[in-house]
Structure 1
């Protein structure tokens, strides 16, 4: 069973969990707030669209790759942020010239972090000197011209293109003096950032922390790479865990959560959206090629996270999987999940992936999935996973308790708590898993 508090809710004598007290998101389809994100999830909307035409990408060459021997097709489809080019530099005390040289990932991360703080009931403009940390998942973007050349942006490129500046800009802009760390474990980056932020709070490095991830593609490099590997969704739809999957589909997005100890949240009157019961990170080790997932490593990670959470896995009602939609990755993940959360046929946790709505947002993917779970908990409903009507034949669905989430359905709590798990796996072999306990909110089914 789950670890429980011995107090009566007044802050007395209870396990001081790390909790999530606020969140914010930007997703494809013009989504820049939690209400719109939840609406899209609950209504089974796919937030996929054509490639942006304002980024000077070589689209003619990209779409013609399949006519070159050894290359697969690139669909005119992806999960792109419509507001990636929008930014108010003066609001953040940045000059327009410096803003142009900034990787858009820095700009998007700054405004999403600001909104997460507001959602937690904190004044972002009154945090100067706060012993707070900032941990942000982010990967390369290839934004702008080479730094090793004379351009009108020379002098700003060192910070403008540094991955570390994604976290550093947030800390600098808010005046936070705790640890500020950019995390790159590829597609596991944002859940790794969550894990590190929670560890920093537990160790006393900071009083509270921001944790999140961001992805804005500065070039179509990811599409080239996966077209060469014949791993893109040929029809422009990401069909996680489906028998009809043909590959993944790249996307963009950003998500940030506010973490603190439960005692601090209660003292400041912050709403508790979830307790982070446990999070764990591991690596596939050697053997298969580095980009190939490993079912044994994933199963081992899930078991260790369940043990750390001191939780009966039968209590987990929702699993937000990685679900890249690739014919190689999905079956391996499904087998690991069936071995850990699926043996009990009376217990039928729902499985899904936000990637079916927004595409694979790479370094931000895990955080978008986490926020999806938080919104499901806050609304007392499990959002459907798209394209789940024809499950993958990689597992025997009749002999496992797992079920794909195919429709919006009520999510009943257990003794006032809803339990969920979130997975995220990186192309370089890093795996991340987290388990959440979400107390029923007093004003459930209202604005999260």
Structure 2
């Protein structure tokens, strides 16, 4: 069944915070277009046991942990009084709530809305997030006791946005690990189609309250040994954790046109599924991913050969990347008349794996690519993995900044996210090519 219907869901606003001090859309695009490395050393202001963490390889069976990751510079920055929150309550709040709240505000401004006066519409808020162990245990008594219930509740990542901005529609946090953000977009779009809300914010946040993910993947010997994330590369040595926040604003196209909102993209189709039983829960499934991608293409109502850009999951792991590439090849790899195929990349090469927020950082990369009419390079893509036949696959890695010509005024792209919980998400987008005046205005917004 097509998701398009007569009045498709469109993306009309967005905002982002990413590692390397990136907190604007213009800054994010520049970093991607220039193929910047946004990684940096572990933060020294979070009380993490860095000496122990960086010496894990000295213990038999554990992998090396480099002093490297994709960390937000402004994770601790927050103006509580601006949002009507007391300073004591703000300290007790998971940083994911704080950062998501300010990014939501900017996403609304990017839409052309006044976040302090959103009217009486039923507005939804769907956020992806995972618990990252911020703060002391709930049984520890301190001056913040009494604020800990809402401060540490995962559901409050969305609930805090709804409370502070006066959103009275559905307010939901989705935790399906690394697929959380695209799953949140899918659920928000479904809610709008089902008239559960008039329009919605959808996105995800990841700020690490502890380095637990580094410990876990060190034990599994799945961390990058050189402190870089190299998706789809022969040189890939494992993944590298990062942080980030991305939020988009969704509504029906008729509403967007009535209110004069810019349309970044139509969400032609989105789907989520699960690997099911068989392999261990954390092992990806080519079969499940292929089923998901085919279902999304069917919902979008387009031929797969129209898709010219694929923002893949691409964690840089020896197991996950080849399985993902096989699924993509089966759906998008059919030979084309001009002998080319879709360009493939992953923003994880710039900033690491932002976990619950990874899919949204990739989605916003795609939206900005459509806006600028260019496809940014994926770092470390000069030596593609030899575990797939690239000539036969029809896929090509984006190794340099390239112009992206529209097809009859539209650019088509796809985005994937796959979670360690076994949940998979995929979305297909159609982005109208803006005229030069619109592009100039957006670039300087």
TM range (shorter): over 0.9
In structure 2, the residue matched to 1:207 is 198
CA contact (8 A) 1:378 1:444 kept: no
The question of 1:168 aligning with 2:159 is answered: yes
CA contact (8 A) 2:138 2:148 kept: yes
In structure 2, the residue matched to 1:220 is 211
In structure 2, the residue matched to 1:362 is 355
Aligned 1:30-429 pairs, distance under 5 A: 30-127=21-118, 129-345=120-336, 346-429=339-422
Q: Distance in 2 between matches of 1:444 and 1:369?
A: 23
Q: Distance in 2 between matches of 1:295 and 1:98?
A: 45
Q: Distance in 2 between matches of 1:316 and 1:39?
A: 24
Give, in angstroms, the shift of residue 348 of structure 1: 1.2
Distance change >3 Å, CA 89–CA 105, structure 1 → 2: same
Q: Distance in 2 between matches of 1:441 and 1:182?
A: 33
Moved over 2 A (4+): 442-448
Give, in angstroms, the shift of residue 247 of structure 1: 0.2
CA contact (8 A) 2:131 2:154 kept: yes
Give the SS at the match of 1:126: coil
**Corresponding pairs, count:** 438
- 1:279-337 CA-to-partner distances (Å, cap 9, x unmatched) read 00000001111001000000110011111111111110100000000100000000100
Give the SS at the match of 1:188: helix
Give, in angstroms, the shift of residue 197 of structure 1: 0.1
The runs of 5 or more residues in structure 2 that have no matched partner are none
Give the SS at the match of 1:399: helix
- 1:210-242 CA-to-partner distances (Å, cap 9, x unmatched) read 000000000000000000000000000000000
Give the SS at the match of 2:272: strand
CA contact (8 A) 2:271 2:292 kept: yes
CA contact (8 A) 2:305 2:334 kept: no
The runs of 5 or more residues in structure 1 that have no matched partner are 5-13
- 1:320-359 CA-to-partner distances (Å, cap 9, x unmatched) read 0000001000000001001110122424110000000110
CA contact (8 A) 1:334 1:394 kept: no
Q: Distance in 2 between matches of 1:398 and 1:205?
A: 46
In structure 2, the residue matched to 1:18 is 9
CA contact (8 A) 1:380 1:444 kept: no
Distance change >3 Å, CA 377–CA 444, structure 1 → 2: farther
Q: Distance in 2 between matches of 1:444 and 1:169?
A: 34
Please, what TM-score do these two structures have when normalized by structure 1? 0.96
When the two chains are superposed, the root-mean-square deviation of aligned CA atoms in Å is 1.2
Q: Distance in 2 between matches of 1:127 and 1:313?
A: 38
CA contact (8 A) 2:205 2:356 kept: yes
CA contact (8 A) 1:17 1:261 kept: yes
Give, in angstroms, the shift of residue 269 of structure 1: 0.3
Q: Distance in 2 between matches of 1:39 and 1:339?
A: 33
Q: Distance in 1 between matches of 2:167 and 2:46?
A: 33
